[in-house]
C-alpha cells in the first residue's frame, strides 16, 4: 500500500495499484520504504508547484483513525521538503535521510513519525 499526504483534503490518501482506495485522518504502517520519485521532484523544482511524488510504501496496520496508540518513546519526527532535499529526513537531524522504517505513523495533524528499526543515510545533496 502507498500512502501520501493529500494537501487538498488534509488527509492521508492510501493507494493500491495506482488507485486511491481510501482517505484516512491517520494511519499506522509497518515494514515501510520511504520513496521519492526523482522526476516528480524535478518537476516541483522546475514548476514551483507541488505534485504527488513522495510516498510511504508498507503494510497498513491501523487505518481506522485509532492510530495514536502507535506513539513510542523512541518515535522520531520525520518530514519531506522537495525544496530542501530529495529524500525524507529526520526533523531534529535534517542531515540524516530515512529510507526504511519498521513502523510509521501518519497522524491526523499531517505529521509523520518513524519508530522501531530505522535505516538512515547521510544526505549529501
Q: What's the total number of domains in the chain? A: 1
pLDDT tens sequence across 82-120: 999 999 999 999 999 999 999 999 999 999 999 999 999
pLDDT given at position 72: 63
pLDDT given at position 54: 98
Are 34 and 68 spatial neighbours (Cβ–Cβ below 8 Å)? Answer: no
pLDDT given at position 74: 77
pLDDT tens sequence across 63-79: 665 555 556 677 899 99
CA 48 to chain centre: 20
Enclosing domain of residue 59: 2-122
Are 51 and 43 spatial neighbours (Cβ–Cβ below 8 Å)? Answer: yes
Amino acid at each position: 500500500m502507498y500512502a501520501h499526504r493529500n494537501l487538498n483534503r488534509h488527509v492521508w490518501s492510501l493507494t493500491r495499484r495506482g488507485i486511491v482506495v481510501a482517505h484516512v485522518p491517520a494511519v499506522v504502517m509497518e515494514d515501510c520504504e520511504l520513496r521519492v520519485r526523482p522526476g516528480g521532484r524535478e518537476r516541483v523544482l522546475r514548476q514551483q508547484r507541488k505534485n504527488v511524488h513522495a510516498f510511504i510504501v508498507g503494510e497498513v496496520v491501523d487505518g481506522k483513525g485509532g492510530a495514536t496508540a502507535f506513539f513510542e518513546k523512541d518515535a522520531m519526527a520525520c518530514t519531506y521538503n522537495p525544496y530542501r532535499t530529495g529524500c525524507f529526513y529526520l526533523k531534529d537531524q535534517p542531515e540524516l535521510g530515512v529510507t526504511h522504517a519498521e513502523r510509521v505513523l501518519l497522524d491526523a495533524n499531517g505529521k509523520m513519525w518513524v519508530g522501531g528499526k530505522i535505516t538512515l543515510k547521510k544526505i549529501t545533496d
